[in-house]
Structure 1
Amino acid sequence: MPDTIQTPPQAPPKEAQPNSNSEVLRTPPKSKKPDAPAYTIKKKLKKLKLTHKLKSALLTHQTGQWFTAIVLIPWAIAAIYFTLIASDRYVSEASFLIERSDSGGGSIEGLSLFGVTPQASNDQRILETFIQSPDMLDYLNQEVSLRQHYIESGDWISRLSPSASQEDFLDFYRSHINVRYNDTNGMVDMEVQGFEPEYTKKITDLILSKSESFVNDISHNLANEQLTFVRSEVERAEQRLKDFTRRLLNFQNETGLLSVEEQGAALNGIMNELQAELIRSQTELQTLTSYLNENSSQVIALKQRISALQSQITTEKDKLVDSGSTSLNDLAARQQELQLDLDLATQAYTSALVALETTRTEASRKLKQLVVVSSPYQAQDAKYPKVAYSLINILLVLLMIFALARMIRATIHEHRD
């Protein structure tokens, strides 16, 4: 086999290599905008960098540490509590007023529709005080175990402490009931808070029932006290009238005279007649002695008659006026005194009867009653706590504390320098 002649491999034909400069000119420029995934990653990195800076500012710098300790941490705790832990508090509302029977007569324009007078505001304020009183709290606690509800129903911050004193219980009750007097319409607006809607409405109903009994009791007690006093005065006047009537009757029975004045008038008439007869007899005696002898029978008879008349006149005069206590003059004074006492007692008794009737009428007109304008209802949604409102207020307070702390710190550093 003949040897094969190996020829060196021939290089492939060189292709025409383009000029680098011309290639660059012909290639379109690359876009400066990266693709979407790379841009998103860079953006996230920037965000992470800002977050890192924010953490560094809040935890490394002293001002940031103060801000974190004073503002952020307390506010975060408050936010966790109000959004996750705080118990819902339901509200039952009612509006009422105290109306009097004669309230329409003297009412002010604008308030006459409700029968409200300036004096009625005192009644509303008294009732407002009674609703927040320990007596009302004791009544509610006996009826619906209010203390147990406050202890068991709320969260560990909102509820009443099991070891709370009676004063703390009263303060807790007052913080969960809002009673205010409305000067515009004269009504009392009441708002009761509770941890259960049905229980809250029940509390409100009991408060209204007890308030109505309170108003009725006070109104009727005042009326009864007035009537009792006037009745006692009537009884006293009646007893005095009976006493003076009995005294006058006893006096008439003792003296045997129905009217001493009439008896005195009769004696005065008799004396006048005797005086006239005596004067006539004395005149006749003077006439007879002018032409008759002193010893004549006619003269002697006339003198005896004159003497009898004078004696009778003296006797009758002693009956009228004498130093003793049995004279008509003294008896007339005593009877007049007794009659005057009797007349005064009669007038007092008549006035007492009129006062009794007037008081009875006024008492019936001034009786008061509780008028419920807006009845309580059972809430469907919790009204408290107001999360956004509370958190905003807490944040503002914390910011004010932080600003005050910063100001105090700057003042201290300034004095050190």
Structure 2
Amino acid sequence: MPDTIETPPQAPPKKEQEAKKSEAPKAPAYTIQKKFKKKLKQLNLAKKLKSALLRRQARRWFTGIVLIPWLLCALYFTLIASDRYVSEASFLIERSDSGGASMEGLSLFGITPQASNDQRILETFIQSPDMLEHLNKELNIRQHYIDSADWLSRLSPSASQEDFLDYYRSHITVHYDDTNGMLEMEVQGFEPEYTKQVTDQILLKSESFVNEISHNLANEQLTFVRSEVERAEQRLKDFTRRLLNFQNETGLLSVEQQGAALSGIMNELQAELVRNETELQTLTSYLNQNSSQVVALKQRIEALKAQIITEKDKLVDSESTSLNDLAAQQQELQLDLDLATQAYTSALVALETTRTEASRKLKQLVVVSSPYQAQDAKYPKVAYTLINILLVLLMIFALARMIRATIREHRD
């Protein structure tokens, strides 16, 4: 069998070898570039997915925080919320014209009319539990708050007295105007006619309260003045008794008149003494000292001197109570008696004046603007309320987003 000749493998063409040689070193760089492009596409896709997720999450947050609550509020205020009608009134408290002058007599006992803010007191009384109790007794206002309003605006049937008072205060506004001294009152109710009845009843009770307070004050002053009159009368009796006792003890009706009488007697004695001494000098000029006329005249002069000393001792005796001392004591007692008499007279005048004022109207409630029955509901203000709610919800949404972004940034 002839031997087969194996032909050696032929070498690849030269161009193919060069191409292979040129492709061999470029393979790794191409692979890296291809992987980088692939990863870049993945990152872009992740960013797009993340951005879409965040947008979707923001929409969910906006829907949950802003849109749904606002739509619920809009549904409530436009379809469910009960209308609240308003009745307004303006009034003030005035004193009677003679009210200030009638108290002048009381200043004798330290009583002066103090400038009290009657409007402030009345403002507090209108919002007090006493006024609420009166309204509930006359108009059954608690049942009105329960039955006439929607389920969200009404007063709870099981509300306590404190909750009832808070609910009442939230439906009545009393404002004191410093410029004109008037009280501006606004009463809210769920029925226009009933709201006006509540306002009228508040004004009636307020007027009764003002009269009661003024009369109570006048009665207290009357009681005080009566006690002062009794005390002044007792002082007058005491000083009168002291003066009578003094007169009985001294036996003198008037020490001053007695002193004037003694002074007159002393003046006469002094004049008589001077005349006798003059006559003595005349007689001794031509008669002997032992003559009967001279001796008699000397004896008369000595008697006059002794009498003058006696009468003078009655006025200014230092060893016993003199007439001057008695006069001073009687004058002091008489002065106390005069002062007590004046005080008693003034007390009687004040008592009569206060008694008159206690039986008349000292203060009165002047209604400047009478309450009226509303035709249109003033509350709720739907557009205004919904805009405010929307702004508040948007602020809450922005705050929540900011907090979440801050937390995510710290995590990253």
Give the alignment's TM-score, normalised by structure 2: 0.71
Pair 187,289 (structure 1): closer, same or farther in 2 beyond 3 Å = closer
* Equivalent residue letter for 1:75: W
Over residues 116-175 of structure 1, what are the superposed CA-to-partner deviations in whole Å (9 max), with x where a residue is unaligned? xxx999333332222112221222233333333323433332122233333222211111
In structure 2, the partner of 1:3 is none
* Equivalent residue letter for 1:412: I
In structure 2, the partner of 1:6 is none
More moved, 406-415 vs 210-219: 406-415
Q: Quote the Cα distance in structure 1 between the aligned partners of 2:65 and 2:177.
A: 41
Match of 2:170 among 175, 182, 203: 175
Pair 76,59 (structure 1): closer, same or farther in 2 beyond 3 Å = farther
Task: State how many pairs are aligned.
Answer: 347
Q: Once the 2 structures are TM-superposed, how far is the Cα of residue 255 of structure 1 from its aligned partner?
A: 3.4
In structure 1, the partner of 2:265 is 270
Match of 2:340 among 340, 345, 358: 345
In structure 2, the partner of 1:23 is none
Q: Once the 2 structures are TM-superposed, how far is the Cα of residue 301 of structure 1 from its aligned partner?
A: 2.7
In structure 1, the partner of 2:328 is 333
Which residues of 2 match residues 21-60 of structure 1 at below 5 A? none
Q: Once the 2 structures are TM-superposed, how far is the Cα of residue 372 of structure 1 from its aligned partner?
A: 1.7
* Equivalent residue letter for 2:394: L
More moved, 244-253 vs 131-140: 244-253
Secondary structure, aligned partner of 2:151: coil
In structure 1, the partner of 2:69 is 74
Match of 2:188 among 183, 189, 193: 193
Secondary structure, aligned partner of 1:270: helix
Over residues 178-207 of structure 1, what are the superposed CA-to-partner deviations in whole Å (9 max), with x where a residue is unaligned? 222344544322221223333322221211
Q: Quote the Cα distance in structure 1 between the aligned partners of 2:89 and 2:53.
A: 50
Q: Quote the Cα distance in structure 2 between the aligned partners of 1:314 and 1:120.
A: 67
Q: Quote the Cα distance in structure 1 between the aligned partners of 2:94 and 2:240.
A: 47
Q: Once the 2 structures are TM-superposed, how far is the Cα of residue 341 of structure 1 from its aligned partner?
A: 1.9
Secondary structure, aligned partner of 1:87: coil
1:132 partnered with 2:89: no
Match of 2:243 among 248, 254, 269: 248
Pair 148,255 (structure 1): closer, same or farther in 2 beyond 3 Å = same
* Equivalent residue letter for 2:377: A
| Counterpart contact for 1:101–1:365, Cα < 8 Å | no
Q: Once the 2 structures are TM-superposed, how far is the Cα of residue 224 of structure 1 from its aligned partner?
A: 4.4
Q: Once the 2 structures are TM-superposed, how far is the Cα of residue 250 of structure 1 from its aligned partner?
A: 4.1
| Counterpart contact for 1:96–1:374, Cα < 8 Å | yes
More moved, 150-159 vs 288-297: 288-297
In structure 1, the partner of 2:363 is 368
1:319 partnered with 2:314: yes
Pair 100,217 (structure 1): closer, same or farther in 2 beyond 3 Å = same
| Counterpart contact for 2:155–2:167, Cα < 8 Å | yes
Pair 331,307 (structure 1): closer, same or farther in 2 beyond 3 Å = same
**Larger helix percent:** 2
Q: Once the 2 structures are TM-superposed, how far is the Cα of residue 397 of structure 1 from its aligned partner?
A: 1.6
Q: Quote the Cα distance in structure 2 between the aligned partners of 1:351 and 1:66.
A: 84
| Counterpart contact for 2:211–2:361, Cα < 8 Å | no
More moved, 321-330 vs 401-410: 321-330
Pair 151,308 (structure 1): closer, same or farther in 2 beyond 3 Å = same
Provide structure 1 residue ranges, at least 5 long, that are not aligned to the other structure: 1-56, 106-118
Provide structure 2 residue ranges, at least 5 long, that are not aligned to the other structure: 1-51, 101-113
1:141 partnered with 2:136: yes
More moved, 362-371 vs 264-273: 362-371
Q: Quote the Cα distance in structure 2 between the aligned partners of 1:201 and 1:120.
A: 33
1:210 partnered with 2:205: yes
In structure 1, the partner of 2:395 is 400
Q: Quote the Cα distance in structure 1 between the aligned partners of 2:118 and 2:129.
A: 19
In structure 2, the partner of 1:95 is 90
Secondary structure, aligned partner of 2:402: helix
* Equivalent residue letter for 1:76: L
Q: Once the 2 structures are TM-superposed, how far is the Cα of residue 353 of structure 1 from its aligned partner?
A: 6.1
| Counterpart contact for 2:313–2:322, Cα < 8 Å | yes
* Equivalent residue letter for 2:131: M
In structure 2, the partner of 1:164 is 159
* Equivalent residue letter for 1:128: E
* Equivalent residue letter for 2:333: L
Q: Quote the Cα distance in structure 2 between the aligned partners of 1:402 and 1:314.
A: 118
In structure 2, the partner of 1:390 is 385
Question: RMSD of aligned C-alpha atoms?
Answer: 3.7
